[in-house]
Amino acid sequence: MYLYKKIQQFRLIAVTRKAALLLAVMALFNSCKKEFLDIVPDNIPNIDHAFSNAIEAEKFLFTCFSFLPREGEPDSNPGFNAGDELWLYWEPVLDFYYKDPYRIARGQQNKSNVYMNYWNGFDGRTMWQGIRDCNIFLEKIGQVRDLDEIVRVRWIKEATFLKAYYHWYLFRMYGPIPIVDQNLPVEVSVDQVKVKRQPVDSVVN
């Protein structure tokens, strides 16, 4: 009986020590300041660096231009080889880098693996990313200090044209589309992210 009581005392002491240690660790974590953990390391680029001067802003404008489809290349333009006006033997086509237009012409277009898909990204280009980059450019170009005003106005018009062109290109391929006038903040709700397609009249106007 004496031995049983001693074992129970040791167990109680061990449990008490564990509980005290756990409480001490919890108090230590609660005493940490959140600001200490939220420090951003030095030399980490952010979007403001892209508009710190005219040269960096011009690089960002070039990024907006980089989403333009390569309309002059038969492998990248469905208007050349995705129709039935021109037929090529399949064997030479196998050597081409992009075979998507030829697959469309052969009736292989499907919903699960869409060819020439500029909605989600074809040839490394998604038009929605291009539209978002144009929106960022139009929002931030006003903060560039060493930029001549005539150049600023020209760049704004170029980015506005690109934004409209990307919308038109998507509309031409997919019909009614959502209009992205401005980018959504990261912290918006899921319902706000679900942007609905606009009617044809709204898209065209």
Number of other residues whose CB lies within 10 A of the CB of residue 56? 14
pLDDT in tens, 129-165: 999 999 999 999 999 999 999 999 999 999 999 999 9
pTM: 0.71
Mapped onto helix, strand or coil, the DSSP state of residue 125 is strand
What domains can be seen in the chain, in order of their start residue? 50-68+127-185+192-205 (1.25.40.890), 70-117 (no CATH)
Angstrom distance (rounded) from CA 19 to CA 17: 5
Contact present, 57 and 149 (Cβ < 8 Å): no
Contact present, 176 and 203 (Cβ < 8 Å): yes
pLDDT value, residue 159: 96
Question: What DSSP character marks residue 47?
Answer: G
Angstrom distance (rounded) from CA 135 to CA 129: 10
Contact present, 167 and 131 (Cβ < 8 Å): yes
pLDDT in tens, 84-132: 777 766 566 565 656 777 777 778 788 777 777 777 776 657 889 999 9
H or E segment to which residue 69 belongs: none
Bridge partners (DSSP) listed for residue 90: none
CA of residue 3 relative to chain centroid, distance: 69
Per-residue burial over 110-123, b if 16 or more Cβ lie within 10 Å, else e, is eeeeebbebeeebb
pLDDT in tens, 46-79: 788 888 899 999 999 999 999 988 877 777 777 7
